[in-house]
A and B are shown apart, each in its own frame.
Chain A
Amino acid sequence: MNSYMSGPDPLGGKITRRGLFGTGARIGGAALLATGAGDLLAACGGSSSTSAPAMQPVAPKVDGKVLNLLTYPGFFAESAVKGFEKEYGVKVESTAFVGGQELAKIASGQPFDLTTPIASQLPEIIASGLARPLDHEKFKYWDQILPAFMNPPYDPGAKYSVPYAFARCGLVYATEWVKESELTGSWADLWRLAPKLRHRAYVMNDMQTSMGMALEYKGHDLNSGDAKQIEEAGQALVELMPSTGGFSDPSDEELIISGQGWLVPSWSNSMYFSVLQVKDRSSLGFQFCKEGSLVDMNPMIVDAAGKSPGTAALFIDWMLKPENMEANVRQVGAGVPTKAGMAAYEELGKEFPFLKVPPDIVTSFAGWQKPFTAERRKLFTEQWSRVQAVG
């Protein structure tokens, strides 16, 4: 039916998430205090362990009557959640998080059953023993998943994760103040137009995405590990910031809907939410940039600390069911690489053209953000600190 089903092997990986508070939920920070403090005091000079304890693959079955989700608000369609509760007699409790919190919570051992972290965090989450392996054989709707995502780069063999919502990054613009004729379909538009927009252009407060954007603007690979190129990207952002309104906090959606932001890097699903909330849809435009679209995803994982892992796996399987995935896609405005998910997403794309995706995004992971290596994270962090200081 479509070219997604012919997906060959993947390249590099990373993810999407709802643009809630702009900042990407990076593996850092508060999460680290949670895991790190324990290691710190216990190890006292040693290194923290990152080898995952052996866990049995979890099969979908009801092994607890309460399912604790840790995810973005409204990240699953209400009809799908209610249907699950009714079908299996399980009460679904959802805890909402904003950027940066979910790792802190699961790393601290809080008993959540299911989480939707950023895919690029998965290698570390898995290595830290925070996710349970999945018993694919027992999943009723496992064959719904597109071939490429049965072996994604962020989780080889999809042993620990099931793909969920992905989105692409582009530039949202207020059509009243930024004319389509002024745009060239490049990230360079942000640098060129920001000085004219009287501090109404913004930069996403997300290190990997914004640095990736700047790398592409400078003609480099978004996943570059070259120190010189990364420095160039950092410098480009440092030069851009003074002419902007700063970072798009509290969220790009807020800025766009409130009319404060006229040119804002944003996710396609954030644009979807924004468009649904403004009176006049034509007041907003969205352009993808020819250099790339920094694809990002939030897969579903079963938490190691959860008390109902079987129920969590069952929930995931339930969400893979075609009618539920269709409802989810309409709910979150993000692509989901399952047969039904992509069909629903294509349908949605007819009404919202910015949701259309080139096939290679879900077949070869073209343009996806990859997980950090230690060295690349260090280089990014150094440059991002400079950007933060002028942000």
Chain B
Amino acid sequence: MRDRLAGISLLPLSSWLVAFFLVPLGMICAISLATTDLVGTPIFALEFSNYSALLDPLYVPVVIRTLAYAGAATALCILLGYPAAYTVARLGGRHRHAIILLIALPWFVDYLIRIYAWLAILGGNGLLNNVLHQLGLTNAAGLSFVGHSYTVILGLTYSYLPFMILTIYVAVDQMDPRVIEAGKDLYGGPWSTFFYVTLPTTLQGIVAGSLLVFLPALGDFATVQFLGGANQTMIGNLIVNDFSTVGNAPQAAAWTVVIIGSMVMVLVMASLVARIRRRGATHRIGSDVVLGGTG
């Protein structure tokens, strides 16, 4: 009876997922195998060349670049996000929720507006160039901050940093502070306590945050479109351009399927690693117990 009730209660959610996730996903998969007519309208077929076209060596740098940018942004988010989240969670006191709200506040503003803001700061006549020029550090031509790899990575980091901060914040907030005290009681210095106690305890937050940053960064296109330059195309840009400028929806769909497939693989691998780690930890504890018992 309880199982039946549980099944019924899941029905709305299941229907929602089927209607608005699985069906569209199926359509994307179907379009990825389609051909097009004169105007680019997809026509059902089994056209695997849409996938084989992705193997063109031309796209290898784009794929590598996408992975590199997403990876670099994720790493930067960890480096910036962990201290921020840790500080807020541990030292924020009763204001910590308000501080977290402040961190998330810029994300109440539309994504494009925020990217435009970066353009206003880094552009040729932007704020940064004006300041540098006023300080006599550059000539009137200014420096070109837009159109570089670091600008794109900066933009990606800025865009997804709150995801990292929020997940790590939750992990640190939920951590029992007594484990740190226990680490210190066992003569652990600040660094060793951090590396052997705090970091492993909050690792799940880092992993979750990394996934939340890395996966959307893989499919991002607006950051490169606004802040990037030549030779900075990411896969997301190829998809957008296939859709909006060349009428090649099947190829865009093929890219989409590949990205979704990659994301699923990353998630599965992360899950496997987590499982192995848990098993390893259980095994170690078991061994320690056995060793302790015989010692």
Contact = CB atoms under 8 A, between A and B. Distances in A.
Nearest to B242: A29
A122 B241 CA distance: 21
B217 interface: no
B245 A205 contact: yes
B227 to A, nearest CB: 10
A47 B43 CA distance: 6
Contacts of B147: 199, 245-246
A367 interface: no
Interface residues of B, number: 52
A184 interface: no
A206 B238 CA distance: 13
Given A258-B119, A258-B123, A32 B233 contact: no
B70 interface: no
B34 A384 contact: no
A23 interface: yes
19 contacts: A28-B246, A28-B249, A29-B243, A32-B40, A36-B31, A40-B43, A176-B140, A199-B147, A206-B245, A207-B246, A243-B230, A246-B228, A258-B120, A260-B125, A261-B124, A372-B38, A380-B246, A386-B58, A391-B230
A37 B42 contact: yes
A196 interface: no
Contact of B34 (A27, A35, A36, A207): A36
A347 interface: no
Given A37-B27, A40-B44, A100-B243, 5 more contacts: A100-B244, A244-B230, A258-B120, A372-B38, A385-B251
A389 B249 contact: no
A389 B238 contact: yes
Interface string A23-61: 111111111110111011101111110100000000000
B36 A258 contact: no
B42 A39 contact: yes
A45 B27 CA distance: 14
A50 B120 CA distance: 45
* Size bracket of the A interface: 35 or more
A48 B247 contact: no
A244 B61 CA distance: 18
Contacts of B37: 47-48, 50, 374
A290 interface: no
Given A245-B147, A385-B58, A389-B62, A36 B249 contact: yes
Contacts of A128: 39
A32 B252 CA distance: 12
A130 to B, nearest CB: 10
A381 B230 contact: no
